[in-house]
Amino acid sequence: MSSEGESFSASGPNHLTVIDWESTHYRSSVIASLVQGVYVLERDRQQNRVKTLKALAPPWWEFFNFQLNDVLVDPVDHSFFGAVFELKSPALIKAPKYVVAFRGTLTEPNTRSRDILLDLKCISNRLHKNSRFKCAFDSIKTMVDSAGTANVWLGGHSLGSAIALHAGKKMTKRGYPLETYLFNCPFVSATLERIWYKKIKHGIHFSSSVIKVAAIGTYNYLQKHKKQEEDDQFEVLANWVPHLFVNPADPICSGYIDYFSHREMMEIIGASEIERLATKHTGVSLMSAAILGRKSEPYHLLPSAELIINHGQSSSFSKAHGIAQWWDPELNFRIIMYKGNKTFVGNSNDFSHAILL
In a domain, residue 355? The reply is no
**Mean pLDDT, residues 325-348:** 83
Mean pLDDT of 104-128: 93
Banded pLDDT at 217 (limits 50, 70, 90) = very low
Residue 332 lies in a domain: yes
Rounded to two decimals, the pTM is 0.82
pLDDT tens for residues 248-259?
999 999 999 988
Averaged pLDDT, 128-135: 95
In a domain, 197, yes or no: no
Position 356 pLDDT exceeds 80: no
| Domain contains 216 | no
Q: What is the CATH number of the domain that holds 62?
A: 3.40.50
pLDDT for the residue numbered 91: 66
Q: How far apart are CA 64 and CA 58, in angstroms?
A: 10
In this predicted structure, the answer to whether residue 181 has a pLDDT above a threshold of 60 is yes
**What is the band of 264 on the pLDDT scale with cuts at 50, 70, 90?**
low
Average pLDDT over residues 237-262: 93
Amino acid symbol at 45: R
Q: Is residue 213 part of a domain?
A: no
Query: How many distinct structural domains can be found in the chain?
Result: 1
Least confident of 117-126, 149-158, 338-347: 338-347
Residue 72 in 3-state DSSP? strand
Please name the helix (run of DSSP H) or strand (run of DSSP E) that holds residue 182, with its range, or none.
strand 179-183
342-348 and 243-246: which strand pairing? unpaired
> Does residue 269 surpass a pLDDT of 90?
no
Compute the average pLDDT of residues 7-34.
Answer: 93
pLDDT (mean) for 167-185: 97
* Domain housing 116: 4-189+240-276+299-348
pLDDT for position 297: 65
Confidence band of 313 (pLDDT split at 50, 70, 90): confident
Question: How large is the average pLDDT for residues 25-37?
Answer: 96
Max CA distance (Å), the chain:
65
Higher-confidence residue: 18 or 193? 18
* pLDDT at 301 (0 to 100): 84
Asked if residue 16 is part of any domain, the answer here is: yes
pLDDT confidence band for 300 (50 / 70 / 90): confident
Average pLDDT, the chain: 81
- 338 lies in a domain? yes
**pLDDT beyond 90 at 164:** yes
Helix-helix angle 198-223:255-268, to 10 degrees:
80
% of residues, the chain, pLDDT over 90: 59
What is the per-residue burial (b if ≥16 Cβ within 10 Å, else e) of 318-328? ebbbbbebbbb
Pairing of strands 243-246, 305-310: parallel
The SS3 assignment for 73 reads strand
The H or E element that residue 240 is part of is none
Per-residue pLDDT at 2 = 55
353 within a domain of the structure (yes/no): no
Annotate 5-71 with DSSP letters as a single string.
GG-HHHHS-TT--S--TT-HHHHHHHHHHHHHHHHHHHHHHHTT-TTSTT--STHHHHTTTEEEEEE
pLDDT digits (tens, 9 = 90+) for 59-96: 999 999 999 999 999 999 999 999 999 999 866 778 99
